[in-house]
């Protein structure tokens, strides 16, 4: 998997110190979040970044890419022409986009501030690599995101996708477009959705988006379409009447990669003494986990433990990854030639908290454990198709062999979910 990181960032030139000249201090949370995201990209050893900007030339349909090599631009429009960028283009990825997406077409343009602002913080963090720049699609952004995400995933280099866009421009009376109640309403929906349930992002009415005067909604949908993991909101603020959101949409993890290695070694009969355990400190802790396998988006195996039973998380993952592929009674054992078709996630369980009633549950945030006599059932949080507490409890009881009408003891827990 060569798409290792997806992020969403704003692009206010004022956060660049050479432009803000002190005014940027009002956006300190955004600046710190930008720096955090840039450091993550550097840490992930990304070689190419694809940037999607709503200020590159837009088209009524299709996917627009910036033509030329290198691509260059500066902040001259904002009084800081000395801050310049010249970046080499990843020709292989660009050619793949042109070949695989028939309605993609070129434009010649300089880098705009939707690209330059993230590049500023990436360069500050020490990142030097190639880029590809796309204009934000005005139609079907998630569809294009999925196609581009697959192209990046198939790349031989480690890639990141950064979607650029501001949220509402109508948060304050003295903001660029004045105040409208739709402004804070839309931003609140988006931020809450990213923290809890990203499907809510897609349901915002078009007229509400128009009233909010945002410019980054389609960029965000593009990012979610490319690849979605455990979304983290790094910051949100609107000091100048415009909503600035910095969020991590997806981050590849060596923990999920280790689960794949364990399963691969087992199915291909390789000696486990040659298996290298990543240096991730969490793998040395005593934790319980579930390993989930999916094929074509459908469940293909899931095995885990409610409490840790092995010396450390690495051994827990090894056992559960192999069991998910070979011991889940709902499926035939996985074969080695299926490995390339399988996606793997690892859920590391937090502490169990006994609760007195269902009002303390939230299927998007908390997993649940039900117990009746000697029967115990567990259901992980944030599962496709499980949207209510009632559905969550019904499935957990069913897994435990507990009748629907039987009273149960309840526990809730949170998880850290790791993706490949």
Domain boundary among 187, 218, 251: 251
Indicate if 339 and 313 belong to the same structural domain.
yes
The answer to whether residues 242 and 141 belong to one domain is yes
Q: Last residue of some domain: 347, 372, 402?
A: 347
Nearest to 152 by CA among 218, 87, 223, 220: 223
Task: Provide the CATH number for the domain around residue 404.
Answer: 3.30.1490.150
Does 37 lie in the same domain as 18?
A: yes
Q: Where are the beta strands (DSSP E) in 136-207?
A: 159-164
Same domain, 10 and 151: yes
- Do 328 and 237 share a structural domain? no
Return per-residue pLDDT of the chain as tens, 420 residues: 589 999 999 999 999 999 999 999 999 999 999 999 999 999 888 999 999 999 999 999 999 999 999 999 999 999 999 999 999 999 999 999 999 999 999 999 999 999 999 999 999 999 999 999 999 999 999 999 999 999 999 998 899 999 999 999 999 999 889 999 999 999 999 999 999 889 899 999 999 999 999 999 999 999 999 999 889 999 999 999 999 999 999 998 889 999 999 999 999 999 998 899 998 899 999 999 999 999 988 999 999 998 999 999 999 999 999 999 999 999 999 999 999 899 899 999 999 999 988 899 999 889 999 999 889 999 999 888 898 999 999 999 998 899 988 899 999 999 988 888
Output the CA torsion sign for 8, 237, 413, 307: positive
Cα 200–201–204 angle (5° rounding)? 90
**267 and 406 both lie in a single domain:** no
Beta carbons of 263 and 321 less than 8 angstroms apart? yes
Rounded-to-5 percentages of helix, strand, coil across the chain: 40, 25, 35
* 141 and 271 together in one domain: no
Partnered with residue 355 across adjacent β-strands are 410
Q: Are residues 235 and 260 in the same domain?
A: no
Instruction: Name the residue range of residue 143's domain.
Output: 3-251
Same domain, 242 and 367: no
- Domain count within the chain: 3
104 and 42 together in one domain: yes
In terms of domains, do 115 and 147 share one? Answer: yes
Q: Strand pairing partners for 353?
A: 412
CA 22: distance to chain centroid? Answer: 32
Q: Any idea what the CATH number is for the domain that residue 276 is in? A: 3.30.700.20
225 and 260 within one domain: no
Boundary of a domain, candidates 251, 274, 297: 251
């Amino acid at each position: 998997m060569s798409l290792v990181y997806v992020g969403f960032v704003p692009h206010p030139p004022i956060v660049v110190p050479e432009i803000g000249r002190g005014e940027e201090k009002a956006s300190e949370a955004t600046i710190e979040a930008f720096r955090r995201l840039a450091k993550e990209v550097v840490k992930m050893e990304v070689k190419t970044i694809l940037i999607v900007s709503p200020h590159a030339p837009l088209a009524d349909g299709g996917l627009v890419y910036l033509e030329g090599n290198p691509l260059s631009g500066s902040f001259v429009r904002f009084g800081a022409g000395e801050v310049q960028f010249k970046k080499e283009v990843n020709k292989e990825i660009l050619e793949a986009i042109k070949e695989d997406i028939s309605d993609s077409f070129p434009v010649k343009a300089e880098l705009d501030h939707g690209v330059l602002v993230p590049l500023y913080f990436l360069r500050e963090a020490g990142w030097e690599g190639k880029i590809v720049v796309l204009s934000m699609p005005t139609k079907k952004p998630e569809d294009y995101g999925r196609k581009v995400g697959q192209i990046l995933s198939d790349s031989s280099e480690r890639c990141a996708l950064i979607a650029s866009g501001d949220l509402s421009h109508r948060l304050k009376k003295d903001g660029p477009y004045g105040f409208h109640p739709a402004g804070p309403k839309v931003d609140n929906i988006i931020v809450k959705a990213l923290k809890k349930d990203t499907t809510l992002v897609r349901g915002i009415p078009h007229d509400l988006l128009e009233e909010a005067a945002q410019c980054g909604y389609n960029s965000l949908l593009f990012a979610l379409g490319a690849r979605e993991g455990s979304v983290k909101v790094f910051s949100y603020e609107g000091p100048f009447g415009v909503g600035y959101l910095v969020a991590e949409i997806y981050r590849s993890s060596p923990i999920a990669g280790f689960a794949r290695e364990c399963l691969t070694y087992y199915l291909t009969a390789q000696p486990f003494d040659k298996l290298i355990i990543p240096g991730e400190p969490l793998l040395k802790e005593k934790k319980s986990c579930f390993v989930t396998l999916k094929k074509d988006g459908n469940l293909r195996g899931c095995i885990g433990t409610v409490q840790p039973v092995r010396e450390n998380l690495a051994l827990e993952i090894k056992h559960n990854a192999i069991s998910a592929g070979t011991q889940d009674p709902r499926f035939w054992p996985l074969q080695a030639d299926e490995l390339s078709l399988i996606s793997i996630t690892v859920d590391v369980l937090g502490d169990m908290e006994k609760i007195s009633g269902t009002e303390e549950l939230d299927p998007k945030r908390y997993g649940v454990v039900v117990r009746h006599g000697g029967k115990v059932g567990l259901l992980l949080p944030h599962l496709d198709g499980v949207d209510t507490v009632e559905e969550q409890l019904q499935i957990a009881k069913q897994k435990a062999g507990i009748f629907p009408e039987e009273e149960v003891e309840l526990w809730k827990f949170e998880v850290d979910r790791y993706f490949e």
